[in-house]
Structure 1
Amino acid sequence: MWIQILLITVIVVLAVIMMRRTGADSHLAIRRLLLLLFVIAAVLSILFPQGLTWLARLVGVGRGTDLVLYALVTIFLSVVYSQHRKNVALQRNITLLTRRMAVNEALARESAVETTRVRPPDDSGPAS
């Protein structure tokens, strides 16, 4: 019984931490809904492990623990793919920003050189 309380507490605490706002909350509602569904499924599987075994047999898997393993592998692969896409987009943005900074620095140097050039004297003579 105490392990159930400990596991449920850990899951709820992690869910609260994961639901906090971050800088990029474009899909916050979907993320919160999926997290809530995960918490409910996790708590139910802890409280009623025989239900997980029943569900596993229903979908053609021998044991509930195997079903959990297959689900975790699937989720892990989807997270890895998602992180890879985010990393590629971040690298692209860094490249564009670096290029923009290099162009701006070159323009600033060129502007500074033009203002320090000595202009030849005007040969038209004294102004009348």
Structure 2
Amino acid sequence: MSRQSVIQILLIAAVLVIAWRLLIGSGQRTQALRRLGLLLLLALVIYSIIDPSKTWTNLAKALGIGRGADLILYGLVVAFLGFVVTTYKRFRAMETRYTRLARRIALDEARPVPRHGGSTGTPDTLTGDVPPSPSVKAADAD
């Protein structure tokens, strides 16, 4: 097995692990891992600014990748994947909150149904006059 195929397997595994972790994790641990990754990237960027000539090329060769530009491209693909997954999760959670809020507002603003328990009317005069009450079960159907 060549060195390049090893790095390809490692990159694919890293992408899958990152995607899996981002999909299931939403707690403090996931946020801490994201911050550590950002700090690591920040350190690499600062070092590459200090020594721009060979930083990425040397790192790429150490990992078995031909050029530093390829390593940067792979890193950007992984970062973009993480961005897409986290954005999707955030928008999905926001949609769920807005849906629940709209349902709550609709139920709160619905006209109250008059109670006829103490009325002197007959059952014939009471039927059909009262609109049906809003169904919570129907409001929760999505």
Give the TM-score band, short-chain normalised: 0.5 to 0.7
SS in 1 for 2:112: helix
2:86 to 82, 88, 107: 82
- Tell me which protein shows more helix as a share of its residues: 1
Question: CA shift at 1:55, angstroms?
Answer: 1.0
Question: In the aligned structure 2, how far is the partner of 1:79 from the partner of 1:101?
Answer: 33
Q: In structure 1, what is the Cα distance between the partners aligned to 2:96 and 2:45? A: 37
- The 5 Å alignment of 1:31-46 reads 31-46=34-49
Cross-structure match for 2:106:
102
TM-score by length of 2: 0.53
Q: 3-state DSSP class of the match of 1:110?
A: coil
**Sequence identity (%):** 40
In structure 1, how many angstroms separate the alpha carbons of the residues matched to 2:98 and 2:70?
Answer: 42
* Number of residue pairs aligned between Structure 1 and Structure 2: 89
TM-score, structure 1 normalization: 0.58
Higher relative contact order (CA 8 A, sep 6+): 2
Residue 58 of structure 1 is matched in structure 2 by 62
Deviation digits for residues 67-110 of structure 1 (CA, Å, limit 9, x no counterpart): 0111011101111111011111110111111111111111xx21
The AA in structure 2 aligned to 1:103 is: L
Out of 92, 96, 101, the residue aligned to residue 96 of structure 2 is: 92
Unaligned 5+ segments in structure 1 are: 1-25, 121-128
Larger Rg: 1
| Cα distance in 1 between the residues matched to 2:78 and 2:34 | 17
In the aligned structure 2, how far is the partner of 1:28 from the partner of 1:85? 14
Q: Which runs of 5+ in 2 are unaligned?
A: 1-27, 121-142
Question: Bigger CA drift: 45-54 or 82-91?
Answer: 45-54
